[in-house]
Amino acid sequence: DAGITQSPRYKITETGRQVTLMCHQTWSHSYMFWYRQDLGHGLRLIYYSAAADITDKGEVPDGYVVSRSKTENFPLTLESATRSQTSVYFCASSESFDGGYTFGSGTRLTVV
Amino acid sequence: GNSVTQMEGPVTLSEEAFLTINCTYTATGYPSLFWYVQYPGEGLQLLLKATKADDKGSNKGFEATYRKETTSFHLEKGSVQVSDSAVYFCALSEFSGAGNMLTFGGGTRLMVKP
């Protein structure tokens, strides 16, 4: 089906582990984004990408790594998970600046 | 820099009441404006948008008008339903050298009681 898919939907990991959150979109949108959503902080941008092989930091990039070797995939890796990274993570894509974003359903990550 | 300010919630209404959620913005240029809705356990969905001054966005009975003179984009609905209970986010988008970036407000939770 066309759309934007995030996996896994739920993840529990231990402090210090590396974990990768996947994001896949079927529209070939140029722009892709990763946000985290925390109570009291709203949505905060972690990383974004304007095209394959072009990525840049957002508001809260520390502790995260992204790659974009193909237009349709934009994985987010937590290199060494910490409890402060417990959050709901949303991936989004967009074709143009006035078209808005399409969001995935989110990944709820718990770091214990 | 750009910013979006929304009224704090929660907003609690009875079914069929009139809804207004205030949103004001600060931007350096001519942004596009959006309202997103997030239902429990889901991602954000685009509700409506307006790309220039005096445009009115509308969808599912919700409306918002782009008011450049007051830098506002207030969300309204004439008669809310229980199914409208959700968190609503106002956002602006302005193209820059880094591409298109959405700036979100903090969100307003709406609770509609039967």
Instruction: Identify any residues that bridge with A92 across adjacent strands, giving them in sequence order.
Output: A33, A103
Shortest distance between the Cα of A103 and any Cα of chain B, in A, equals 6
CA distances (Å), origin A92, targets B2, B30, B34, B65, B95: 20, 23, 15, 25, 17
CA distances (Å), origin B56, targets A8, A99, B34, B35, B52: 38, 15, 11, 12, 9
d(CA A48, CA A67): 10
Shortest distance between the Cα of B80 and any Cα of chain A, in A, equals 24
A103·B94 Cβ contact <8 A: no
pLDDT 10s digits, A17-64: 999 999 999 988 989 999 999 987 788 999 999 889 999 999 899 999
Round the average pLDDT of chain B to a whole number and report it. Answer: 92
User: For an interface test with B, which of A97, A103, A108 has the most B Cβ atoms less than 10 Å from its Cβ?
Assistant: A97
d(CA B27, CA B66): 13
d(CA B92, CA B100): 10
A97·B95 Cβ contact <8 A: yes
Counted residue by residue, chain A has a size of 112
pLDDT 10s digits, B69-92: 999 999 999 999 999 999 999 999
What per-residue confidence (pLDDT) applies to B29? 81
